[in-house]
Amino acid sequence: MPARGSLELAFSPADDPEALIVRVIDAARTTLHVQAYAFTSRTIARAMVDARGRGVQVEVLADAQMNRNAKGNMIPLLLDAGIPVAFETGYSAAHNKVLIVDPAGPGCVVVTGSYNFTWSARNRNAENVLVLRGHCDLANAYLRNWRRHREQATPVTKLPFALGQDRTVR
């Protein structure tokens, strides 16, 4: 896949990747597909809720083990706003941190990197975020992968979420 578009980098804690992620979410026009490992950032969750309020179709996949309890995570906020959330249970860790924004249009964006959607990632950890703009082939490759993961994920309606030792839903 030849390189196209532009990229922007941010490193935590110095560059405030959370602000960059929020700007990307705020610019979404039609769709926002998310994969998250840990999700405790109220700021990112509010940006997703606001995007949904603007008519953006927002859907979230999250690691089941990291997010199955309500304590501290933002999944309940997303669910209360009507954002579909599904937990990935088929892996030891669903460790993706990805946002796919408007893959069908000229404003397509992929956000990826090590950055978890957490306070620690923003303030304590050495993390990175890479924002790739205008490379719609890449955005659609990420979207195909997101859809493969979604087919195997379990929809969540409330927390806590019971997960057996074999990672099956109970």
What tens digit of pLDDT does each residue of 81-125 get? Answer: 999 999 988 877 778 899 999 999 889 999 999 999 988 889 899
Band (67; pLDDT cuts 50, 70, 90): confident
Instruction: Return the pLDDT at 77.
Output: 92
Q: 23 vs 61, 76, 111, 131, 139, CA distance in Å?
A: 20, 23, 11, 11, 18
Instruction: Return the pLDDT at 161.
Output: 64
Q: Which CATH architecture has domain 6-156?
A: 2-Layer Sandwich (3.30)
> Looking at the annotation, which residues are catalytic?
95, 97, 102
pTM > 0.85: yes or no: yes
| Rounded distance between C-alpha atoms, residue 110 and residue 129, angstroms | 10
Q: Taking the alpha carbons of 77, 112, 126, 65 in that order, is the dihedral positive or negative?
A: positive
Instruction: Return the pLDDT at 58.
Output: 99
Band (21; pLDDT cuts 50, 70, 90): very high
| Model confidence at 164: pLDDT above 70 | no
The packing angle between helices 17-27 and 42-53, to 10°, is 10
| Of 168 and 17, the one with more pLDDT | 17
Q: Supply the mean pLDDT for the chain.
A: 90
